[in-house]
Amino acid sequence: MTNTAAASPRLVIVDRVIPRSLVSDVVLVVAGAGITAALAQVVIPMWPVPITGQTLAALLVGASLGWLRGAGAIALYAVVGLLGAPVAAPSADGGHLTGLAWLAAPSFGYVIGMVLAAALIGWLAQLRWDRRVWQAVIAFLAGSIVIYAVGLPWLAAVTQGTPEQVLAWGLTPFLIGDLVKAVIAGALLPAAWWAVRRIKGA
Q: Give me the CATH number covering residue 57.
A: 1.10.1760.20
pLDDT of 187 over the 90 cut? no
> Mean pLDDT in the chain?
90
Q: How far is CA 157 from the centre of its chain?
A: 23
pLDDT for 202 equals 52
One-character DSSP codes across 134-168: HHHHHHHHHHHHHHHHHHHHHHHHHH---HHHHHH
Residue 137 has pLDDT above 70, yes or no: yes
Q: How far is CA 129 from CA 16, 61, 84, 147, 175, in A?
A: 16, 14, 36, 19, 22
Chain segment 42-58, per-residue pLDDT in tens: 988 888 888 888 999 99
Q: What is the pLDDT of residue 110?
A: 96
- Per DSSP, 52 falls in state E
pLDDT at position 11 over 60: yes
CB 61 within 8 A of CB 118: yes
Structural domains counted in the chain: 1
Section 159-171 average pLDDT: 95
Give the structural domain span for 161. 3-200
